[in-house]
Amino acid sequence: MNETILAAIISGIVSIVVAFLIALPGLKAFRNQQKKEAAESTKYEAEASKIYSDMAAEAVKREMEKSGEFSMLQKRLATLERNFYEVVDILSDWGDGLRVLIEQLESANISPDWTPSLEDLEKIKEFKAHR
């Protein structure tokens, strides 16, 4: 083989090796940067996941509190409704009693100074009927 060809081949191989050696720190830096970015990415994903998890836990907590408040309000409403109908029953009994007393007074030829409104008595009967 010709010495010039051999020298050109050796010179080419040396150039490739030198270029590789020169590029090696850059390649290493590039690889380190990739590792660093992957680690940072994992860190940010973990932080985002924690934030999301905290927000989800807080939302669940708020919903549980609302659910508890709603349950308490339902119980209070049931109690108020029960109390309302107890008062309606009492008023209905009183209305019936007043009617009897007025009839007794009138049968004794005594005219009462006051009599309940018939409309009010009818309203009480309507409330009682809607039970």
Encoding tokens for residue 111? Answer: 């005219």
- Cα 54 from Cα 43, distance rounded (Å): 16
Q: What is the per-residue pLDDT across 53-76, written as a single tens digit (0 to 9) for each?
A: 999 999 999 998 888 889 899 999
pLDDT in tens, 30-54: 888 988 888 888 888 989 999 999 9
pLDDT surpasses 70 at 119: yes
The answer for residues whose C-beta is within 8 angstroms of residue 102's C-beta and 6 or more apart is 112, 115
pTM: 0.51
Residues with Cβ within 8 Å of residue 131, at least 6 apart in sequence: 85
- Give Cβ neighbours of residue 71 (< 8 Å, ≥ 6 apart): none
CB-CB contact of 130 with 88 (8 Å): no
